[in-house]
Structure 1
Amino acid sequence: MRTIEWRKYPQPRIRHHTNPQVYLPRAQLRVVPPNYPPLIEELDWGALFANARAPSVLDIGCGMGRFLLEYALNHPAENILGLEVRKPAVEWITRVIAGEGIGNAAAIWYSVANGLGFLQSNSLRAVTYFFPDPWFKKRHAKRRAFTLALVQEIWRVLEQGGGLYLMTDVPTVDAYQREILRQHGGFSIEEIAGDDQWFCEQTDHERFCRSKGIPYVRLRCIKR
């Protein structure tokens, strides 16, 4: 598997949590904070990808981009787009993309709470949503990006038979996500145990879980 010499790109110090309002749809905010990601209605794929084609894989909440970038390196025929609410993370990923000359990966500063209107229906092969913020407190649950509205948007942009891939090490988040998927009803759900049925690329948090022996759940949800 191809990878990147990460030490060439020192990571900036970035707070794990940002302004909680960025996790809410802009239409729900009375006052929009200055660090709220811009709304996006359309994207110029020629400005993001070397082949000027739309992505076939979407990585929601791509973090610092380890999975995104290594996936792009190992699947040069596919374009992968990452969405992330923390602007410094997107800027760092963009520097790595430029430094490594990766033409099939891009990351944009965006809050997925505002939907996926810039993506065509039935256009994606896969959507990944790995280790989201758990928002443990009940009053903070509304900040969870994984809502029925988002699942409907993911269902819309996936091609028939395409997959939504989920990972979490928080049992309550796993239960919450399964319930949202049950309410939607548009996916068949399978828990994946074997590595041979999953991506060979790993997120930073997945690597951490493996190193510490922390159990986590992997779900493959196929569009019906």
Structure 2
Amino acid sequence: MTTTDPRPVVPHAAHIRTFHPRRGRMSARQVDDLARLWPAYGLTIADGLAAPMDPASLFGRRAPLVLEIGSGMGDATASMAAADPDRDYLAVEVHTPGIASLLGLVESGGLGNVRVAEGDALELVRALPEASLDAVHVFFPDPWPKSRHHKRRIIAPAHVALLRSRLVPGGTLHCATDWAEYAESMRATLTADPGLRDVHGGYAPRPAHRPVTKFERRAQRAGRPVFDLIHRRA
């Protein structure tokens, strides 16, 4: 991405990546949206030195903050933010067309409570103050299905402990996946964290506030059930 970003740059530290860097082909409209809207709504997570982030500086107000890890094409994030104007939404994505798509939805929907970050979500989380997030959403992360790649899964004990530390007491960590094996791994990892409490005592009923995306509909057509897990910081 070649745009100039006036917002803070979050430092990067070497660790095992939980994602594939993705660029992809963009439409002319997406290219235009990215160029016009990134300076106002974008945050680059890259090499550099930065003080701990003040989320209020991104939004120009202090409000409960929701972190969306892996916002895809942005339709779910935009829908939730539009229905929830009293909270701010910080979406993290590595797929450039998805970032551009969400920026376009932010503009068309007049969503002043959305900002979009490009890069490693865990690096961003490390830069956030403790107890600064009202909720963390991890919807349909890369399942890394091969056993040798399981170490790259974002829902792993150390990552969950980090995410939990950034939640306010009573804040929620909401995960969803259509991979049954990963769902069981998620459930075991979340249940084992001593600072989290399972809200539903197992898989949660599908929450009405989580929009159905094209990705989820594709999973349903393939016959893969979707599993939701909602845990709360004690």
Question: Structure 2: any 5+ residue segments left out of the alignment?
Answer: 1-11, 24-43
Q: Is residue 187 of structure 1 aligned with residue 196 of structure 2?
A: yes
Q: Which residue of structure 2 lines up, in the alignment, with residue 140 of structure 1?
A: 149
Matches within 5 A, 1:73-84: 73-84=82-93
Query: Per the alignment, do residues 104 and 175 of structure 1 end up closer, same or farther by CA in structure 2, a change over 3 Å counting?
Result: same
The residue identity in structure 1 corresponding to 2:71 is: C
Deviates more, 1:152-161 or 1:200-209: 200-209
CA RMSD between the two structures: 2.8
The residue identity in structure 1 corresponding to 2:152 is: R
CA distance in 2, matches of 1:102, 1:75: 10
The residue identity in structure 2 corresponding to 1:206 is: E
The answer (yes or no) to whether the contact 2:55–2:128 under 8 Å persists in 1 is no
The answer (yes or no) to whether the contact 1:55–1:81 under 8 Å persists in 2 is no
Match of 2:46 among 25, 38, 41: 38
Q: Which residue of structure 1 lines up, in the alignment, with residue 4 of structure 2?
A: none
Q: CA deviation at 1:209?
A: 3.6
CA distance in 1, matches of 2:15, 2:170: 33
Q: TM-score, normalised by structure 1?
A: 0.74
CA distance in 2, matches of 1:27, 1:105: 28
Q: CA deviation at 1:205?
A: 2.3
CA distance in 2, matches of 1:102, 1:146: 29
CA distance in 1, matches of 2:233, 2:15: 29
The answer (yes or no) to whether the contact 2:54–2:129 under 8 Å persists in 1 is no
Q: CA deviation at 1:100?
A: 2.8
Query: Per the alignment, do residues 200 and 182 of structure 1 end up closer, same or farther by CA in structure 2, a change over 3 Å counting?
Result: closer
Matches within 5 A, 1:109-188: 109-114=118-123, 116-188=125-197
The residue identity in structure 1 corresponding to 2:137 is: T
Q: Is residue 97 of structure 1 aligned with residue 106 of structure 2?
A: yes
Same amino acid, percent of matched pairs? 30
Partner SS, residue 117 of structure 1: helix
The residue identity in structure 1 corresponding to 2:110 is: G
CA distance in 2, matches of 1:68, 1:39: 26
Query: Per the alignment, do residues 135 and 192 of structure 1 end up closer, same or farther by CA in structure 2, a change over 3 Å counting?
Result: closer
Q: Is residue 68 of structure 1 aligned with residue 55 of structure 2?
A: no
Q: Runs of 4 or more off by more than 6 Å in structure 1?
A: none
Q: Which residue of structure 2 lines up, in the alignment, with residue 217 of structure 1?
A: 227
Deviations 1:83-121, CA, capped at 9 Å, x for gaps: 112233223312321233210111110212435123222
The answer (yes or no) to whether the contact 2:45–2:117 under 8 Å persists in 1 is no
